Amino acid sequence: MIRFSKDLRSVTDSDGAILLDIKSGRFFRLNQLGSRILSLLEGGSDLPQILDRLQEVSRDGETLLADVEAFLQALEVRGLICRVNQVRANGGTHG
């Protein structure tokens, strides 16, 4: 399960999305894939569901998994999301 920071705001456009961390005042620009992942997270999708939906974009499941994990980790490191009691793809847990 992913929880979003209460200080996170987002706006989407045709190029992707822009995230604003109100607490730090920092902006983050997401490309279309990052925007799609964010949208799926906001809709309650978990990692397997996200990967399933994104298979339409990329046939290479291993690369896709690595890219999505890196994206989620980048959001998490910046405090924009928190993974709660979720089994990660590598078998570990977080939360």
- Tell me how long the chain is: 95
Residue 53 DSSP one-character state: H
pLDDT at 86 over 60: no
Which residue segments constitute the domains of the chain, with CATH numbers given? 2-94 (3.90.930)
pLDDT, tens only, 46-84: 999 999 999 877 667 788 899 999 999 999 999 999 988
pLDDT at 6 over 90: yes
Amino acid at 47: L
Whether the model clears a pTM of 0.85, i.e. scores above it, the answer is no
Residue 22 DSSP one-character state: T
The per-residue pLDDT for 61 is: 78
pLDDT, tens only, 11-52: 999 999 999 999 999 999 999 999 999 999 999 999 999 999
